[in-house]
Amino acid sequence: MDEVHTTKVVLLGRTGSGKTSLIVRYISSVFSENVKPTIGAAFSKKTVQLIHGEERKQVVLAIWDTAGDERYESMAPLYYRNSSAAIICFDLADRQSYNKVDFWVKELVEKVEQNCKLYICGTKTDLLAEYGGPLKRAVGPTEVMAYAKKLNAKFVETSSKSNYGIDDLFKLVAADFAGFTLCEAPPIEDSLRLQEPNQTDVNEKSSCCF
């Protein structure tokens, strides 16, 4: 029997930063341009299988999606309390969205007692010129990486539309929680691109881990 562990993961970030789309893509493998704003909070769950040599673990991710509307900020503690991981999202093409990241980081550092790992997630890569989209990056990747490194956070980039980096992000969260290290794990500086768009699954790339 595999060991089964459950862990609470919370998504935070400015309104419209793509939190709900990220989860919908991860859980249901679909993308819609018309995702309704999240009122209050939403919950979903998914099991990740981890294999490391002889050792096997199952991690159940209990994922809380929160409202980005600032009015709901006072409710956020309900969802980040007891979380082992917080994924703070920002729209890569929106500076204001990035500016909100620091607000959440400070809130978590100040108020969360347990060890909560931080993941800073730049969303909507499909909109960026370098991926063929119409928009420019609002913040340089080195700035985000430096910021993440200072916090001992991990920085990843995703696109819910083109399904880029999303499974990897949650596998990373599960592996960190289970104390598994990705072999050939990229250092933070390189973790920017866990997976190139349209490439094969990370399972095959780092088969000894997952």
Q: How far apart are CA 184 and CA 181, in angstroms?
A: 9
- Look-up of token digits 């289970």: 178
For other proteins, which residue of 5, 31, 42, 52 counts as binding (CB under 8 A)? 42
Find the part of the chain contacting other proteins (CB under 8 A) among 39-47, 105-113, 150-158, 201-209. 39-47
Q: Does 39 bind other proteins (CB under 8 A)?
A: yes
Is the CB of 22 or the CB of 202 nearer to other proteins?
A: 22
Do 98 and 135 form a contact (C-beta atoms < 8 A)? Answer: no
Q: Cβ 123 to other proteins, closest distance in Å?
A: 14
Do 173 and 85 form a contact (C-beta atoms < 8 A)? Answer: yes
Find the part of the chain contacting other proteins (CB under 8 A) among 68-76, 162-170, 171-179, 196-204. 68-76
For other proteins, which residue of 1, 54, 71, 152 counts as binding (CB under 8 A)? 71
- Look-up of token digits 């917080």: 86
The tokens describing 189, both together, are 């500086």
CA 100 to chain centre: 15
Q: How far apart are CA 157 and CA 120, in angstroms?
A: 8
CA 61 to chain centre: 12
Contact pattern from residue 18 through residue 37 relative to other proteins, giving x for each residue in contact according to CB under 8 A and a dash for the rest: --------------xxxxxx
Q: Does 64 bind other proteins (CB under 8 A)?
A: yes
Q: What is the DSSP letter of 82?
A: T
The tokens describing 17, both together, are 């930063």
Q: Does 129 bind other proteins (CB under 8 A)?
A: no
Q: Does 114 bind other proteins (CB under 8 A)?
A: no
* CA distances (Å), origin 205, targets 124, 162, 167, 199: 24, 19, 13, 10
Please give the residues from 187 up to 206 whose contact with other proteins meets the rule CB under 8 A: none
For other proteins, which residue of 72, 103, 131, 147 counts as binding (CB under 8 A)? 72
Q: Does 75 bind other proteins (CB under 8 A)?
A: yes
Positions touching other proteins (CB under 8 A) are 15-16, 32-37, 39-45, 62, 64, 67, 69, 71-72, 74-75, 78
